Amino acid sequence: MQKDLLVDVQEEQILVTVVENGTLMEVYVEREFNKRIVGNIYLGIVKNVLPGMQAAFVDIGLERNAFLFVEDATPSKNMIDETFKGPQISICDLLKEGQQVLVQVSKEPVGSKGARVTSNITIPGRYTVLMPYVDYVGVSRRIENEEERERLKKISHEIKPEDMGIIVRTVAEGAGESELEMDLQNLTGIWKKIEKRLSKTSGPRVIYKDLGLTQRMVRDLLDEKVTRIIVNSIEVKDQILEAMTLLDCQYRYKIVYEQGDVLERYSILTQLDEALNKRVWLKSGAYIVIDQTEALTAIDINTGKYIGKDNLQATVLNTNLQATAEIARQLRLRNIGGIIIIDFIDMEKAEHQQLVLEALEKELKNDKTKTNIMGITTLGLVEMTRKKARMGLESLMLNDCPYCEGKGKLLSVETIALRTKKKVRSMAERTLQSALLIMANPLLASQIIGSNGVSLKKLEESTGKTIVVKGEESFHLEHVEVRSISDKEMEAYLPVKEGDIIKVLVEEPQSGDGKDGIARINGYVLSIINGSSFVGKEVSVKINKAYRTYARGELI
């Protein structure tokens, strides 16, 4: 099997995709404006203790307080054995308001919900996971050979720190004692630094940040099954090599540098767009429909164009069996977590139901995220759960549609802006003109320009072109036009020129001395001298200076 890791680097985003035989299987995204916090360790302050919910809200320095359940509030056997049913402890016996508590983020904040945190601290390395508060040794269930499991357990008992625990990860299969020991020494070093910081600070404060996406890729995704790591940035390639050295990873020869848009080159963008659709077609002509809600995800299977060759029951069974592989892929690709209900086509025979369940279990073995199939209900629905740790693909790349008041979905402004910049870079390589024009919805135009024109400036520096952004109120948010223009045309596309007198609404005070005000003309910024006292009012302004990304004017 050809398994590649594609690393697409833009100024504001790194996107890592797992591709197996040309098929997109997993997507990991890190954006400058939306950093992942799962795995980060914070010194928090308990704000509210809720005995009725057996939970507490903890201030960890983020916009919303984090949520700490009682079972996560103290290191216990519960951490390593989910079947453990110890005595019921009240949250009030563990936490008090104002108390400082060391916690680790286990789930990203989603929507109106804050992050979920735990006191069961874990620090993952390449081969092992260190558990500072639990005296325990465990081996990944994915390592099935009993002799190998016993060998790894024996090594673990010999090298683990006293009163601490370790879990041996799947990638450690076949690794020697020196490799495990070196990995563990690195983790204990991290823990000592955390303890040192704790002794010198007070909450709420971040104490430790987990690795960035490219380093996590080396730690969590890279193994002997990976054929190539294809990256389009020399700088990020060097970061990956550095991470390999740090994590004692022996796959440096697998890194390949390829300039340009690797996602387009390997037909990944089309598959990425398809992963945002509700309907997914199977090769046979059957299809599945995926509906994601806040409470659960429902997956429905339909025969569609597939009519089969035998009797009805055989057609139904074949369709359901085909669907299991695609369902497992979509769960990984979309990173769907929580409760999942699968409505397979009704099967009359119990043995057919069992075949489908076994096929689903087999396909889910390739999923590194923990899944649990509960069985089939009396209504013929398959109930299962999948651990929800990071933001799903839909939440990350889609926003509620402003045109239908949230009843549908469209690409987020950030996603469209990133794609527009990719389109601009591509056109800049093909044209001899010195300038480019971007015509877009004002909301998108503002995103492309960025605060104080910083984002647009970076785009100009990377392309070597002068870029004019023109906001068009009539444009749908996803409709963007990019074309090359001459220097003379560029001046004509500016919304104002020096000497113009216009009426505008002052929207906000300008940062800095606070005396000036800000107005916008289809995303184009107008700085108004002494205009801050007129926020919310319409004023007449004379344009003194006009630049490509903003103008300066005075009240008249």
**What pLDDT, in 10s, does the model give residues 374-423?**
989 888 899 999 998 788 899 888 888 777 767 677 889 999 999 999 99
Q: How far is CA 27 from the centre of its chain?
A: 8
**What is the reported pLDDT for 84?**
46
Q: How confident is the model at residue 283 (pLDDT cuts 50, 70, 90)?
A: confident
Distance of alpha carbon 314 from alpha carbon 543, whole angstroms: 75
Tokens 């008041």 label which residue? 405
Is pLDDT above 50 for 549?
yes
Is pLDDT above 80 for 199?
yes
Both tokens of 61, joined, read 């320095």
* pLDDT, mean over the chain: 90
DSSP 235-292: HHHHHHHHHHHHTT---GGGEEE--S-HHHHTTHHHHHHHTTSSEEE-TTS-EEEEEE
Higher model confidence: residue 259 or residue 308?
Answer: 259
Q: Note whether 428 and 396 are within 8 A (CB).
A: no
Mean pLDDT check: name the lowest of 307-311, 366-370, 541-545, 549-553: 307-311
Is pLDDT above 50 for 83?
no
Higher model confidence: residue 123 or residue 378?
Answer: 123
Q: Is 301 helix (H, G, I), strand (E, B) or coil?
A: strand
Mean pLDDT check: name the lowest of 213-222, 303-312, 351-360, 396-405: 303-312
Q: Note whether 139 and 155 are within 8 A (CB).
A: no
Q: How confident is the model at residue 513 (pLDDT cuts 50, 70, 90)?
A: low
**What pLDDT, in 10s, does the model give residues 350-374?**
899 999 999 999 999 989 899 999 9
Cβ contacts of residue 550 below 8 Å, gap of 6+?
A: 453, 524, 525, 526, 527
Q: How confident is the model at residue 277 (pLDDT cuts 50, 70, 90)?
A: very high
Q: How confident is the model at residue 268 (pLDDT cuts 50, 70, 90)?
A: very high
**What is the reported pLDDT for 33?**
80
**Mean pLDDT value of segment 423-451:** 91
**What is the reported pLDDT for 400?**
80
Q: How confident is the model at residue 78 (pLDDT cuts 50, 70, 90)?
A: very low
Q: Is the dihedral of CA 82, 85, 89, 90 positive or negative?
A: positive
Is pLDDT above 90 for 211?
yes
Is pLDDT above 90 for 249?
no
Mean pLDDT check: name the lowest of 26-30, 153-157, 516-520: 516-520
Q: What share of the chain is helix, strand, coil (3-state, %, to 5)?
A: 30, 30, 40
For 110, the enclosing helix (H) or strand (E) is: none
Cβ contacts of residue 267 below 8 Å, gap of 6+?
A: 22
Cβ contacts of residue 488 below 8 Å, gap of 6+?
A: none
Domains of the chain from N-terminus onward: 3-35+211-270 (3.30.420.40), 122-203 (no CATH), 277-386 (3.40.630), 412-492 (3.40.1260.20), 501-555 (2.40.50.140)
**What pLDDT, in 10s, does the model give residues 142-178?**
899 999 999 999 999 999 999 999 999 999 999 999 9
How large a percentage of the chain has pLDDT more than 70?
96
Mean pLDDT check: name the lowest of 61-70, 379-388, 506-515, 546-555: 506-515
**What pLDDT, in 10s, does the model give residues 233-247?**
999 999 999 999 988
Higher model confidence: residue 110 or residue 281?
Answer: 281
**What is the reported pLDDT for 488?**
80
The count of other CB atoms within 10 Å of the CB of residue 403 is 10
Q: Is 219 helix (H, G, I), strand (E, B) or coil?
A: helix
Q: How confident is the model at residue 309 (pLDDT cuts 50, 70, 90)?
A: low
Q: How confident is the model at residue 265 (pLDDT cuts 50, 70, 90)?
A: very high
Q: Which amino acid is at 101?
A: V
Q: Note whether 495 and 465 are within 8 A (CB).
A: no
Distance of alpha carbon 121 from alpha carbon 100, whole angstroms: 15
What predicted TM-score, i.e. pTM, was given to this entire model? Answer: 0.79
**What pLDDT, in 10s, does the model give residues 35-52?**
889 999 999 999 999 999
User: Smallest Cα–Cα separation from 7: which of 235, 195, 270, 193?
Assistant: 235
